[in-house]
Structure 1
Amino acid sequence: MLAYGYRKFGGPAVFETLDQPDLKPAASQVVLTTLAVNLNDEDRIERLGINATTPLPMIPGHDVVGRVSQIGAAVTDLPVGTIVAAHTEHTYAEQVCVDADSTVAVPDNLTPTQAVSLITPGITAYKAVRYFADIQPDQTVIVKGAGGGVGELVVQLAKRLGAKVIAVARQSHADELMALGISQFVAYDHQDPAHVLADSGDVVINVSLNGVDGKADLAMAKFDATIASVAKHLPATSKSIRFRSIHATNAISDQAALQMLFKLLSTEQLQTHVGYELPFNLAGFIHGHQLLDQPHDGRIVVKK
């Protein structure tokens, strides 16, 4: 089979086609014939070699939708031909081998592109809202980074829980976020959110890149608020803040999160924004990583 990866770290041009042996499943595994892959910022960070533990050569990728093509001897409830999604590793390949119990069936009315675009950002958003922030009805929730893929989903999920949602993003995202029914929009490139929203939030969720500007999060939070952020810590404060650093957790399983997200998406109770659909070949993956390296609008999906 063909896979797409790199033997050295660097820019998108490090990608090459890697000829790999066909995969064989262990007893509890299945092999997927890949239909679509979602590209994430984590893939870019790995490619740049920022994480010293990234092995070489590397076949990157964490989100896949594929058709079950082989099943292990112990797999009895996942027929060949079933289209499933998985959050796993090494998905930039024509075949992906995964544990059968880590897969989630894709509803018939969702395309592989729609489903795969929801995997990493959806799991992150769902756990941020339901576990880390633990949003309750009627709370005022400020979402920082609301214009990004995770942020738009956080906005929608928080609204479904009955929260009053205030979105903080670049002005260019105003129309799309207002269309989601938010209570207020603050453009950080036109106003200072820390001033406009001072002491306003019962919950502040920061899913902007690296959880930037924790001081602003503190300024926007009420005295006894919850702050959930992708940052690892907050600056010192006299406020009585419950701080939760958003990270990978099994407190809610990826499968449970995806099942709910697919249900909401398939019944039009949730929207996902795919900005780019690229061909499943070397040029497509290089182009996808060129987009990851610059500001872009919407999810980047490589598909067959």
Structure 2
Amino acid sequence: MKAVIQYEFGNANVLTYTEVDKPTIGEKEVLIKAAYTSVNYADIKKRVGNKGKGKFPLMLGLDVAGVVEEVGPRSPFSVGDRVIAFPNNGSYAEYVVAKESLVYKIPDSLGFEQAAAMPTVSILSYMLLHEIAQVKPSDTIVIHSAGGGVGSMLVQLAKHAGVNKIIGTVGNFAKASYVKKLGADVVCTYETFSEEVLKETNGAGAHVIFDSIAGEVTGQSLECLAFYGTLVQFGNSSGKAGTIRTSDVHSSCRNLRGFSLGTTRERDPERLKPVAEKVIERFASGEVSIPIAQVFPLKETALAHQLVESRQYQGKILIKM
């Protein structure tokens, strides 16, 4: 089968389109013929080696949409089922293997492009909003990187949940109209968001701030987080650790909550199933959707990575098998 793998860390040129052996399934696993996969920023970080030593050859990719090709005995899935999944060892390939606990059926009404765009960003966003932060309709919330994959999904889900005020941050105002169209009430840049949030809340601060950037943004977020507010940290795209003083927490009664979808896939996969069913239903009904910025053929995966790194796009980047 065709796949994209890498033999070393580096820029997008290390991604190699090649022929590899078709994978085989083990106990309680399924083989999926992939239709599309998505490119997530986590793929970029893993490609350049920010997560320590890698085992090569390495295949990237977190999620996939496709059709079940092979199942084991007593499997809850059947050959021909349309599914989304989190594969075991990457998704940049024509065939992938996934554990049954991380495979979810999708209805015929949900196209493969939207299905492939949604697994990582929508399941993560739903859990952040409703389980981790437990956002209430009366809240004012801040969503950093609101034009990115998770950020744009958070904005939509928050709007759908009737959240009082949604403030999105962007790297530049070129994405402001896009973020407002998704449902944000206010859009500001990282340079001014702390002042803007205090202005929009009459000095009280935001009830919840979703931070996937870390670094300096974390400290600035605490400056505009309300007493008893919650800072949810779920990434560090800046590549720098955020600094938090204990005095910023206990005396203000603020909460700090961390969450990782990757950790949850590994340690508590059953927790994801009910969430996946809820977001699949919302996508199938058309209540929410993800704009598709561009679709690349598998052999042009390196170009897809370059576009993601440029941040000059809106929506999700997909790879078609």
The TM-score with structure 1 as length reference comes to 0.90
Q: Which amino acid aligns with 2:278?
A: M
Superposed counterparts of 1:180-219, under 5 Å: 180-182=182-184, 184-188=185-189, 192-198=192-198, 199-207=204-212, 209-210=213-214, 212-219=216-223
Q: Which amino acid aligns with 1:255?
A: K
CA 181–302 in structure 1, closer or farther in 2 if over 3 Å, else same = closer
Alignment-derived partner of residue 227 in structure 1: 231
Q: Which amino acid aligns with 1:229?
A: Q
Query: Aligned residues, how many?
Result: 298
SS at match of 1:263: helix
Q: Residue 288 of structure 1 contacts residue 300 of structure 1 at CA under 8 Å; is this kept in 2?
A: yes
CA 19–251 in structure 1, closer or farther in 2 if over 3 Å, else same = closer
Q: Residue 132 of structure 2 contacts residue 257 of structure 2 at CA under 8 Å; is this kept in 1?
A: yes
- Work out which of the residue numbers 273, 294, 300 in structure 1 matches 2:310: 294
Counterparts of 1:130 and 1:52, CA distance in 2:
32
Q: Which amino acid aligns with 2:230?
A: T
Superposed counterparts of 1:1-304, under 5 Å: 1-75=1-75, 77-88=76-87, 89-170=89-170, 171-182=173-184, 184-188=185-189, 192-198=192-198, 199-207=204-212, 209-210=213-214, 212-230=216-234, 234-236=243-245, 237=248, 238-248=251-261, 249=264, 250=268, 253-280=271-298, 282=299, 284-297=300-313, 298-304=315-321
Counterparts of 1:39 and 1:197, CA distance in 2:
31
Farther off after superposition, 162-171 or 48-57: 162-171
CA 251–223 in structure 1, closer or farther in 2 if over 3 Å, else same = farther
SS at match of 1:195: helix
Q: Which amino acid aligns with 2:153?
A: L
What per-residue deviation string (whole Å, max 9, x for no partner) do you get for residues 253-272 of structure 1?
23322221111111121121
Q: Which amino acid aligns with 1:82?
A: D
Q: Which runs of 5 or more residues in structure 2 are unaligned?
A: 199-203
Give the drift of 1:301: 0.3
CA 279–104 in structure 1, closer or farther in 2 if over 3 Å, else same = same
Q: Which amino acid aligns with 1:223?
A: F
Q: Report % sequence identity.
A: 23
SS at match of 2:182: coil
CA 288–210 in structure 1, closer or farther in 2 if over 3 Å, else same = farther
CA 36–266 in structure 1, closer or farther in 2 if over 3 Å, else same = same
SS at match of 2:295: strand
Give the drift of 1:251: 8.4
Q: Residue 215 of structure 2 contacts residue 243 of structure 2 at CA under 8 Å; is this kept in 1?
A: no
What per-residue deviation string (whole Å, max 9, x for no partner) do you get for residues 58-114 of structure 1?
111111111111111231x32211111002332111110112232111221222111
The TM-score with structure 2 as length reference comes to 0.86
Counterparts of 2:293 and 2:105, CA distance in 1:
24
Counterparts of 2:54 and 2:312, CA distance in 1:
25
CA 210–194 in structure 1, closer or farther in 2 if over 3 Å, else same = closer
Counterparts of 2:120 and 2:214, CA distance in 1:
16
Q: Which amino acid aligns with 2:79?
A: V
Give the drift of 1:144: 2.1
Counterparts of 1:86 and 1:212, CA distance in 2:
34
Give the drift of 1:23: 2.4
Q: Residue 216 of structure 2 contacts residue 242 of structure 2 at CA under 8 Å; is this kept in 1?
A: no
Q: Report the structure, 1 or 2, having the larger helix content.
A: 2
Q: Residue 214 of structure 2 contacts residue 242 of structure 2 at CA under 8 Å; is this kept in 1?
A: no
Counterparts of 1:36 and 1:113, CA distance in 2:
7
SS at match of 1:197: helix
Q: Residue 133 of structure 1 contacts residue 228 of structure 1 at CA under 8 Å; is this kept in 2?
A: yes
Q: Residue 102 of structure 2 contacts residue 269 of structure 2 at CA under 8 Å; is this kept in 1?
A: no
Give the drift of 1:178: 2.5
Give the drift of 1:163: 1.7
CA 181–93 in structure 1, closer or farther in 2 if over 3 Å, else same = closer
The alignment's C-alpha RMSD in Å is 2.1
What per-residue deviation string (whole Å, max 9, x for no partner) do you get for residues 178-208 of structure 1?
23343x313216x72211212331112223x
Q: Residue 59 of structure 2 contacts residue 91 of structure 2 at CA under 8 Å; is this kept in 1?
A: yes
SS at match of 2:92: coil
Q: Which amino acid aligns with 1:124?
A: L
Q: Which amino acid aligns with 2:244?
A: P
Structure 1 outlier segments of 4+, above 6 Å: none
Q: Which runs of 5 or more residues in structure 1 are unaligned?
A: none
SS at match of 2:283: helix
Q: Residue 140 of structure 2 contacts residue 167 of structure 2 at CA under 8 Å; is this kept in 1?
A: no
CA 151–218 in structure 1, closer or farther in 2 if over 3 Å, else same = same
